Amino acid sequence: MSAAPARDLTLSVIVPAYNEGETVEAVARRLRSVPLQLEIIAVDDASTDGTGEILDRLAQERLIDRVMHHPENRGKGAALRSGIAAATGDVIVVQDADLEYDPADLVILLQPIRAAKADAVYGSRFQGGPRRVLFFWHSVGNRLLTLLSNMFTNLNLTDMETCYKLVRADLLKRLPLTSDRFGFEVEVTARLAQVGARIWELPITYSGRTYAEGKKITWRDGLAALVHIVRFNLFPPGGDWRTPRR
């Protein structure tokens, strides 16, 4: 598989946002403090708390490069597809708008791609990086989903569900992604494995939030992920998207 050249790369950061008015500005400012060449694309998924207006203001202040608005709430995966299609950078990553992930980690995560050693880099919450201590059963669920995904993909990831997945843009844009909600993490991992992508994994900082603080993913999404793992791995779409391109 072809690799990105060893040069300064533009990192397109997709920020999906649904009712994240309390944190989205802080996320944008943290991103702008990262010493990388960034393109920040925010996708407001029909928020009702003023998130869209905040994003428009941040765009006027040039903290965000582009804001996209969904007229109806379509889910995180749909927001990410909109952002991926609009991205113009060399590498694409998702940045949740809830302050759980530290943008400072993006500098290290980009290194294997910049060095042409990787096509994708996953930031793992379970490789020993600093993290806030929270829910035991959430960590168990994440590890079980990762284990099941690994059994199908034959990868040895420690954190399949991580938000921080840096992927070469030319590769990510040709993957047939269809998930509308949180199945995106499962789907993109399956598709990367199916094209034989070179995947690295590095530890990251993680400051998870509680449901009182606005966490949205629930046990129902975990059950849905089990179905997604089977579906996306056993029934990939047809076409020539798995053919290596140089």
At 93-132, the pLDDT tens digits run 999 998 899 999 999 999 999 999 999 999 999 987 555 5
pLDDT at 238: 86
H or E element that contains 146: helix 136-153
2 within a domain of the structure (yes/no): no
Of residues 178, 151, 149, the one with CA closest to residue 162: 149
Look up the CATH number of the domain holding residue 227: 3.90.550.10
Q: Is 233 helix (H, G, I), strand (E, B) or coil?
A: helix
245 within a domain of the structure (yes/no): no
Domain around 126:
10-234
243 within a domain of the structure (yes/no): no
Check if the beta carbon of residue 193 is closer than 8 Å to that of residue 171: no
152 within a domain of the structure (yes/no): yes
pLDDT at 244: 63
28 within a domain of the structure (yes/no): yes
79 within a domain of the structure (yes/no): yes
At 131-170, the pLDDT tens digits run 555 556 577 878 899 999 999 999 999 999 999 999 999 9
123 within a domain of the structure (yes/no): yes
At 55-102, the pLDDT tens digits run 999 999 999 999 999 999 999 999 999 999 999 999 999 999 988 999
- Residues pairing with 90 in the sheet: none
Of residues 174, 168, 189, the one with CA closest to residue 232: 189
Check if the beta carbon of residue 188 is closer than 8 Å to that of residue 76: no
The number of distinct structural domains making up the chain is 1
244 within a domain of the structure (yes/no): no
